[in-house]
Structure 1
Amino acid sequence: MTLQDLIALFRSDAKDVEEPYLWDEPQVVGWLNEAQSEAAVRGRLLLDDSTPAVCEIAVAADMASYQLHPKVYEIAHLRFVGASTSERRELAVVSREYLDRKDPYWRDRCSDEPRFAIQTETRLRLVPTPREAGMLRLEAYRLPLKQVTHCHDKPEIHEAHHAYLVHWALYRAFGQPDADGFDPGKSQQSYSVFESYFGMRPDSDLRRAMRHDQPHTNVIHLP
């Protein structure tokens, strides 16, 4: 569905089909973009393994910390490719607490071939610090790369999900307390439909638990 289609569906469902509209187009477009981001996180809908800006990070020797692409929120698979050998090593994504339990001195280890990675909200730390340059290759769950803004734009998530995005926009519209269309009952009903389809939104603790303490590979203990 195009953005134009989604706006038309919203107006039909909201019974807001005559001008002047209760909710103007920029508001509706903003809610539909919110909806796609919410759906992507709740349903883990956008797994990227091919976009270079998202899935490749250049690694420098003796540098441990790297910036993740701002749209990445969960790493599904991680490999380090050394520059000298092009050998690919799968890295386990774990937490600091996990490494503290397994090897309390991991912060002080000399540079070596990385075996673990710690993901924070925006960065990735390699453990041990890499002794040679190379490349990180990620498979990661992310948010949409671009917002839908023009009438013929389409959401990045699969078309099968598009119509359900409107329920988030309806939830936001009917939930505006100062608007003529304020209707908390309809707002909650629309939210329930959206949540039933895409799932509950994981809180920050759950998102950390999803990426920490359960290594994505067999655990390799530091010497």
Structure 2
Amino acid sequence: MKLGELLAIIRRDELDDESQPYLWSNAALIEYAEDAENEACRRASLLRDATTPAICRITLVAGTSEYDLDPRVIRLRRVRLTGNSTPLVPVTTAQLDEEHPGWEDETGEPSCYLTDWETGEIRVVPTPTAVGTLELQVVRLPLVALNDMEDTPEIHARFHRDLRHWIVKRAFSVLDSERQDKDRAKDAESRFALAFGDPLSARTEEWNARNLPSTHRDGSE
């Protein structure tokens, strides 16, 4: 469904705002739609990717252990070196300190990784001694922001209509006496949660990023 079609349905069925001048501009509703798709992806892990080079490929450099993750990555599902069938094992700093004292100074072929979601980095351990490529399987945000009526949300078409709940929530949350309706905003937010799950705090999202994606050494989840 194109964004223009979705917004037309919302203006007719939810906002009673079909006549110009609109109470809510197209630009505002498009902004809310972009926010809705991102929020849905964060809550429900709707977009998985293992092929987009800019997001799923990292070139390793000898002597360098830390690399930037694309900011659209929500969490990692699997990490492996090209040519190796065994994926790298996700670990924490505490694990490494306990099990491998001095790990920060080790060099060789990476066998595990840890993430820092504050800096948006991945660190491979041990520090590589040769060039290579990390292949990532990720959960991510949309590749392209919604900014035009002809755009189509990247998430599966069966979820497009459910985005309207967040758009309506945002629309009725405007600090304006003519447009604000706290009860309808709250109801729309509840319907969005039924479709995509409850909101995640930053702390919960970071915990999920560190703990949910783990694959075993044989690559299974």
**Shorter-chain TM-score above 0.5:** yes
1:131-150, aligned counterparts within 5 Å? 131-150=129-148
Match among 174, 177, 186 for residue 176 of structure 1: 174
Match among 160, 163, 169 for residue 162 of structure 1: 160
Report the 3-state secondary structure (helix = DSSP H, G, I; strand = E; otherwise coil) of the residue aligned with 2:168: helix
8 Å CA contact 1:94, 1:211 repeated in 2? no
Aligned residues: 214
8 Å CA contact 1:22, 1:179 repeated in 2? no
Out of 40-49 and 146-155, give the one that drifted further: 146-155
Report the 3-state secondary structure (helix = DSSP H, G, I; strand = E; otherwise coil) of the residue aligned with 2:138: strand
How far did 1:179 drift? 4.6
Q: Which residue of 2 aligns with 1:80?
A: 81
Q: Which residue of 2 aligns with 1:98?
A: 95
Distance in 1 (alpha carbons) for counterparts of 2:157 and 2:27: 22
Q: What's the CA shift string for 1:174-222, capped at 9, x where partnerless? A: 1112251110000000000001110012222222322336752249xxx
Q: Which residue of 2 aligns with 1:14?
A: 15
8 Å CA contact 2:115, 2:121 repeated in 1? yes
Distance in 1 (alpha carbons) for counterparts of 2:48 and 2:177: 37
8 Å CA contact 1:71, 1:145 repeated in 2? yes
How far did 1:105 drift? 1.9
8 Å CA contact 2:36, 2:167 repeated in 1? yes
Q: What's the CA shift string for 1:11-34, capped at 9, x where partnerless? A: 011111111111111000000000
Q: 1:208 to 1:151 in 2, by over 3 A?
A: closer
Report the 3-state secondary structure (helix = DSSP H, G, I; strand = E; otherwise coil) of the residue aligned with 1:70: coil
Q: 2:116 aligned with 1:116, yes or no?
A: no
Q: What's the CA shift string for 1:81-126, capped at 9, x where partnerless? A: 2xxxx334410122212222322321122x1111111111211100
8 Å CA contact 2:50, 2:137 repeated in 1? yes
Letter in 2 for 1:32: A
8 Å CA contact 2:30, 2:148 repeated in 1? no
Letter in 2 for 1:128: P
Report the 3-state secondary structure (helix = DSSP H, G, I; strand = E; otherwise coil) of the residue aligned with 2:134: strand
Q: 1:35 to 1:192 in 2, by over 3 A?
A: same
1:183-198, aligned counterparts within 5 Å? 183-198=181-196
Letter in 2 for 1:157: I
Distance in 1 (alpha carbons) for counterparts of 2:140 and 2:211: 21
Unaligned runs of 5+ in 1: none
**TM-score, length of structure 1 as denominator length:** 0.90
Letter in 1 for 2:206: R
Distance in 2 (alpha carbons) for counterparts of 1:94 and 1:163: 39
Q: Which residue of 1 aligns with 2:198?
A: 200
Distance in 2 (alpha carbons) for counterparts of 1:212 and 1:62: 25
Report the 3-state secondary structure (helix = DSSP H, G, I; strand = E; otherwise coil) of the residue aligned with 1:90: coil
Unaligned runs of 5+ in 2: none
Q: 2:42 aligned with 1:41, yes or no?
A: yes
